[in-house]
Copies of this chain bind each other. A is one copy, B any other.
Amino acid sequence: MLLARKTLSRRAPRLRDPERTRQRLLQAASREVYRYGFQSAGLDAILAAANVTKGALYYHFESKEALGHAVIEEVVAKLQRDRWLVPLQQSKDKEPIDALIAVVQAIPARPKDVKGGCPLVNLTQEMSQLDEQFRKRLERIFHAWQEGIAAALRRGQHQGTVRRDLVPEETASLLIAMVEGYEVLAKNAQDVKVWNMGIRNIVGWLSSLRAPSKRRRG
């Protein structure tokens, strides 16, 4: 009786579950924004997809902008962490170059994803110039991304498996540019083949970052 019903069983279907409502809004909004862009995303479409009314939306979020900010911070940022940062940190047994190759190859190549492009790029293209609030939030994600890759490269340099002549941060930015650039090309072509070609070329380039194999530390 003292504990919140939330932590107990679900016998009563809970007509009110604010956190769940918030999540439904975030998910619906991220899908709509992913597809049409932030400015062209309609609140009514989001509400219909989330099966939620306008009153609920404006209870949880101050404005459309606030909703967009939350999408970036909670949905887009999480996606990036799960696809890049976590795998890179968890594969300390592998050589960093191999880990990077694995991560690149693990980027979803389903038609849906290829045709939609990268959420980060979509939002950056649309909003970075127009809204400083959006820009800053996106920049944080880019920075964490670059730093994650750079850290892996530095580790490889210490190991002796990555060329010492390259600057980790700059090489990381180049990798990101390649990935994003190919996502743009694939999105324009609306064709998975273009993306697969991109992966091949990127992986080939990544291989060229290995230190010449004089001798490696086990």
Contact = CB atoms under 8 A, between A and B. Distances in A.
28 contacts: A35-B129, A37-B37, A39-B40, A40-B40, A117-B125, A121-B125, A124-B187, A126-B126, A128-B190, A135-B188, A139-B188, A139-B189, A142-B185, A170-B197, A173-B194, A173-B198, A173-B201, A174-B178, A174-B201, A174-B202, A174-B205, A176-B181, A177-B185, A177-B198, A177-B201, A179-B181, A181-B181, A181-B182
Interface residues on A, range: 35 or more
A180 interface: yes
Contacts of A170: 197, 200-201
Given A124-B184, A129-B187, A170-B201, 4 more contacts: A173-B194, A174-B205, A176-B185, A205-B205
A99 interface: no
A178 B200 CA distance: 14
Interface of A: 35-37, 39-40, 115-117, 121-122, 124-126, 128-130, 135, 138-139, 142, 170-171, 173-174, 176-182, 184-185, 187-190, 194, 197-198, 200-202, 205, 208
